[in-house]
Amino acid sequence: MTLTLILIRHAKSSWDDPFMDDHARVLNDRGRAAAPAIGAWLTAQGHVPDVVLCSDAARTQETAALIRPHLTPTPALQLVPALYHASPDTMLDLLRKQTVRSVAMIGHNPGIAMLAEGMIKQRPAHPRFGDYPTCATCVITFDIAVWGNATRHSGNCTAFITPGDLPIFRA
């Protein structure tokens, strides 16, 4: 059996108010354009999760709210406070408790990038994988039957994309 993990960094957030609480920051216009485009790309590529696990920060919730309507069928959403600036170990522990075949996580750097790096056998050739920019999305497949068997460096990176790779942002 193949299980799929989709790791999405939140879309670009606003720094208009530098004194705003980090947890409360929302997306800027670029982020609001990028998230739906990533959602549409995921559906077009056949990478639709069964569930989206999302940090409870405002910017990750807004990212999820903009991505999910473009996913067909629309996956369930679970807000997970523990994903706010979570370590890769915390995210892996959450993943191992899942019972569905395809899981998306929307979170923050550096944890989301570190988890992506730690779960794949081989890095993709994409030049932006190392810095994992906002709304970057990594699709990883595992040849396992249950998430409890997910181990580091056992997944295959089948796709890595950033909003800048999409035609809408290259014009």
User: With contact defined as beta carbons under 8 Å apart, do 63 and 31 qualify?
Assistant: yes
HSE, side-chain direction, 13 A CA sphere, residue 55: 28
Say whether 59 counts as a known binding-site residue.
Answer: yes
Which distant-in-sequence residues (6+ apart) come within 8 Å of 141 by Cβ?
2, 3, 4, 5, 155, 156, 158
Residue located via tokens 């910017």: 59
Q: Are 125 and 27 in contact (CB under 8 A)?
A: no
Q: Which residues are annotated as a binding site for substrate?
A: 59
Q: Which residues are annotated as a binding site?
A: 59
